[in-house]
Amino acid sequence: MLITAATPSNDPIELAGEVARLKGRVVVVGLVGMAVPRNVYYLKELSLQISMSYGPGRYDAEYEERGHDYPFAYVRWTEGRNLESFFDLAATRRIDIRR
* Residue percentage of the chain with pLDDT more than 90: 57
Taking CA 46 as the corner, what is the angle to CA 42 and CA 97, rounded to the nearest 5 degrees?
145
Residue 98: its pLDDT value, please?
Answer: 84
Higher pLDDT, 79 or 22: 22
Tell me the residue type at 23: K
Alpha-helical (H) ranges within the chain are 11-19, 38-43, 61-64, 79-91
Mean pLDDT of 80-96: 91
For the stretch 29-62, pLDDT in tens is: 888 999 999 999 999 999 999 987 677 777 889 9
C-alpha 57/C-alpha 65 separation (Å) is 10
Q: Report the distance separating Cα 26 and Cα 49, nearest Å.
A: 6
State in Å, rounded, how far the first CA of the chain is from the last one: 20
Tell me what pLDDT residue 11 has: 96
